[in-house]
Chains A and B, each alone.
Chain A
């Protein structure tokens, strides 16, 4: 009598576990993780560059892509850009690609890009780009904000504030 009861409780327990596992794995396929949604959004992003030509982030797929959200009104952004130019020169041939996204007016961004002779492309996103950065973890929507994508397009690192050269160096070298 008691053994039958124990057997029934055991079967009911197994059924609950099976139901939970089924729901978990079933839902897992239907509801992608937020980081995957954000990575898909950044990879599929299409914006005009400083010359007005539309560019897509996934055109650099296969490279380690460092996406830097910046603006001309942001002093720390201007401060770190020469370091990015230096890293682009040093590691560009090994598969590193910097891409700027200016949260700014197109004419101001274009003027500054020419002024410092930026050696990597920059797209112009306006404030909508800031909203995108929010999905990547920039909840304060502040600048500078930088996202590192690995060669498969997955988000490997995000950085709010100035990216210290030694930290950038270590992260990039690991991915190249």
Chain B
């Protein structure tokens, strides 16, 4: 009895089967390498982006943009200004999130945006000042950074004018999306 000319079980090869397998293998490898990769950590100047602007000729607004997954210690924030004759009056730091640390006891930390108003000892209309900010923080992944200093140079507005533009210590690099 003659058997019909049909397939005997194995499926016929489709023309695109090879490249599909290749793409699937590539996706698998990419996913596997992502799972196994070390956590990506940011350098402190990117994890805790510092910027400032002059509000008027004797007041500066300092800002930290803290990336998700990172935090700053409130009691480690310090500000200084050059020339020193316009010294900053003790800043009124915003309240942080209180937590009981097993090693340090009661600590206050900042996440997200931290804005601090800094009154200068005297007006410096039309002059330039350098504002330096010391901060210390950690990543939730279990890594801490030593005290990090960032600074900006601000052109103070004339008397009765302001606010001035925001100046970033480490401007973000431009990419195709901004």
Contacts and interface: CB of A to CB of B under 8 A. Distances in A.
Interface of A: 71, 73-79, 103, 127, 130, 140-144, 160-162
Contacts of B41: 140, 142, 160
Contacts of A161: 39, 141-143
B146 A127 contact: yes
21 contacts: A73-B146, A75-B102, A75-B138, A76-B142, A76-B143, A77-B144, A79-B102, A140-B41, A140-B43, A140-B143, A141-B146, A142-B44, A142-B139, A142-B144, A142-B145, A143-B143, A143-B144, A143-B145, A143-B146, A161-B142, A161-B143
A62 to B, nearest CB: 30
A75 B104 contact: yes
Contacts of A103: 146
A130 B38 CA distance: 21
A74 B144 contact: yes
Contacts of B138: 74-76
A73 B103 CA distance: 9
A168 B44 CA distance: 27
B101 interface: yes
The 4 closest A-B pairs by CB, nearest first: A74-B144, A76-B142, A162-B142, A142-B143
A127 B41 CA distance: 20
Contacts of B101: 75
B103 to A, nearest CB: 5
Contact of A130 (B43, B141, B146): B146
B151 interface: no
